[in-house]
Structure 1
């Protein structure tokens, strides 16, 4: 960050519609929260889903904000404040934030991973891989942000543009050379990654998710595609050739276009030799390699990670050697074991039909004939309701027993969510499905139903350590609750 940055310097990359007041103003801070505005601050009035920042311009001016950036100028202008009118405040904020922090992304090997499933696993494992290869690295993910080993709590898949550029600048000062980040569809549409310079982009897959926000699947697809359309000519774009939208992502990409595949043609190809409880056995780049991750979906993740590392210039043999010893991200097909009971617990973040089907299909592939699969699953409130019946149908059809329960109901009645889920349960499977709104009781019941050797899958929340009910985040950790129930059973 340059302490002597002026408004004029920050506006060089911004299309200004109208401007009032001086531009040779020294800027000390940027904020989208009027309560944090003060002398030397630029306040950005953003139109959000919950509130319109334009309503707080007067508050920011009261706080002595030096500059207001907005889409609509207020009726009364304070002569002591500079006003900048733009077409999109979020886009302007991203471009100005990049400039304010000295464009840190230009000095980093920044790789963005996008897609419905696999983003966290790929970003986390790339961070682990490059750390093992001897680099100082940053991680920006749903689970947490990291500078090497230092953990910085995460609140969104992708932070707002100000926080994001501040984090990248901090990573650069700490000596990081590579940063791996999840890029959500929300982040693209809301301009959180606008103005960043990416060394590469990775597409994992696309399935039903976030339609509550994007409205249609086509809009969701376009949001993902926009990330690739904006990659610079110097960047690579690595896409899953086996996903039917994989080719779409590479259309009109300015930089290097690469693909990975398990089933067909691709620059990076693998053949699945074994998918077992002890891990994956793949033939990759002419070598047979044993990995600690389980499931076909993780075979795709491993291919994406391997391809990214090679495209960043790393030695293929060294990458495979290190990658074979790495574990996945927290809450992603994470085993929960107890010495007292012979039941296998699995906690997974699967909260979309595609992700749940992947996990259940993996369990079906690796289980012994005598093992039952008992699934606990719910759906979040105030989110895409169309996937609820399908989530319940998959749990009912692909499990021996299923317990439908609450996830993060937010401001919805959990019973209304469960009623929508129950509508998807086939008549032939009704006898194998229980509905228990209390998530703790649902997990307790699933464990009680299990016999020695069985598998209990608790899906939907993964790494989360809370349950959001009516605006309050209550402590709740699926892994911890599962451990508690194993302990009770073992007494």
Structure 2
């Protein structure tokens, strides 16, 4: 058991009722999990407020409560600690509880709208191939060395992050690569962690359902770099107009990468095919199995980070050529009937345009390109018409369908999407609400040589409708359908 006083190290405290020299068993911010001798941290949320559950947690036997507002009734024998920001307090307490495990390895955070999962996963692959014990905290999966755990959030809660980092420390992990989302930064989930480096990929339209404006979204991302220590490095995409903003106030050592601009790490796309990319990095050519200009940027970010973490440049280039694409990120196969099917997580306008532009770059123009795309429910509605307009403009046929409608009416989501289609593209669009039927429609229309893109869900193996998740894997569905149709 840990002493509460030690767990509160570095936490900004406004008032205390009771003693802090008490032993605590665990820390919880979900009152349903709190029990005897635990600490309950009351965190205000977007839907519920933890302060409403303080009395419930006390009834369940917690020995201490950390909150922003002291309850009207305080129970004898329970310590109450008032703080100005319980989200930040939770993060610091989590780090202290697990003995500040981020200090026992080299932790690198990756933030940006697109590319976070790919960059972190490629870094994990590269360092593992180089012979190191490596950790990964990503949207797709959590890896503690060779042990895999399911991922629930892009950036987990502070207790989960520190628990995984503690496990990594115990396993002798030397490097950990972590996705850092804007939600995670805003909700202080990364507070208290010691980062050895940070990488910025790009910034485009996303999460405006959560952030009030694009400027706020950008500034939250920037906060991650503002808080990096002077011992860390900060790498930014110089070709992104917001790249330089990220480095304005950082104390970390500043580096840039780019394909179009002058940068510390510069790349050039020599060939771009459905079989892969030929890149020139630091005047050396390297072939990658990854596809598209957006992956050229991802590979360049990986090269820069690996080099700054002390690896020989030529060895890094050799390892880059061995890296495999990440599940649900431009994952593709060719059917027996010579139809190419591509599954990609693209769920923002910028990501969808990148994927479609890449396909149009490598196709001859004689093939048809069918794009099956939907937009998530209970999320940023302003993306919907933009994504539909892009799909219609850059495809032979765009089929609008359901993604994860969640609590919304899927047909209403599709109606929002259709508003973004330009008049000249109307005849290139179809709307098929059922996702499986939409994919089947594309498969039925395709002939040998054609390309089908299924966008939006990528690695996800479920579909969420009215709070219920059912099994649904885009790659499995399209493979099965093409086989059933003998295509």
Report the TM-score, using the length of structure 2 for normalisation: 0.99
Aligned-partner Cα distance in 1 for 2:205–2:9: 39
Alignment of 1:17-36 (within 5 A): 17-36=14-33
> Are 1:343 and 2:345 counterparts?
no
Deviation at 1:40, TM superposition (A): 2.3
* 8 Å Cα contact 2:228-2:251 kept in structure 1: yes
Give a deviation string over 1:212-253, Cα, whole Å, max 9, x none. Answer: 001210110011000000001100000000000000000011
Which secondary structure does the structure 2 equivalent of 1:214 belong to? coil
1:295-310 counterparts in 2 under 5 A?
A: 295-310=292-307
State the Cα distance separating 1:449 from its structure 2 match: 0.9
Among residues 152, 157, 170, which one is paired with 1:155 in the alignment?
Answer: 152
Q: Aligned residue for 1:355?
A: 351
Cα distance in 1, alignment partners of residues 280 and 17 from structure 2: 63
Give the alignment partner of residue 488 of structure 1, picking from 472, 484, 487. Answer: 484
Match of 1:474 in 2: 470
1:81 to 62, 74, 78: 78
Question: Is residue 374 of structure 2 the alignment partner of residue 378 of structure 1?
Answer: yes
**Counterpart mapping for 1:37-186 below 5 A:** 37-186=34-183
1:286 aligns to what? 283
Is contact 2:9–2:96 with CA below 8 Å preserved after alignment? no
What corresponds to 2:449 in structure 1?
453
In 1, Cα distance between the equivalents of 2:252 and 2:429?
A: 50
- The alignment yields a C-alpha RMSD, in angstroms, of 0.9
1:13 paired residue number: 10
1:223 equivalenced with 2:229 (yes/no): no
Q: Is the 8 A contact 1:70 1:86 kept in 2?
A: yes
Q: 1:316-327, aligned counterparts within 5 Å?
A: 316-327=313-324
Q: Tell me the equivalent position of 2:312.
A: 315
SS at the partner of 1:330? Answer: coil
> Match of 1:256?
253
How many aligned residue pairs are there? 487
* Residue of structure 1 equivalent to 2:395: 399
Deviations 1:176-215 (A, max 9, x none): 0100000000000001000000000000000000000012
Unaligned segments of structure 2, at least 5 residues: none
Supply the distance in 2 between the matched residues of 1:174 and 1:164 (Cα, whole angstroms): 15
Tell me, in whole angstroms, the C-alpha distance in 2 between the residues paired with 1:148 and 1:97.
Answer: 22
Q: Deviations over 1:121-178 (max 9, x none)?
A: 0000000000000100000000010112211001000110011101100111011010
Shift of 1:338: 2.7
Structure-2 separation of matches of 1:169 and 1:151: 15
Structure 1 segments, 4+ long, off by >6 Å, are: none
Q: Distance in 2 between matches of 1:80 and 1:449?
A: 70
Q: Do the aligned partners of 1:336 and 1:479 also contact (CA within 8 Å) in 2?
A: no
Question: Match for residue 428 of structure 2?
Answer: 432
Which TM-score applies when normalising by structure 1? 0.98
* Kept after mapping to 1: 8 A contact 2:286/2:320: no
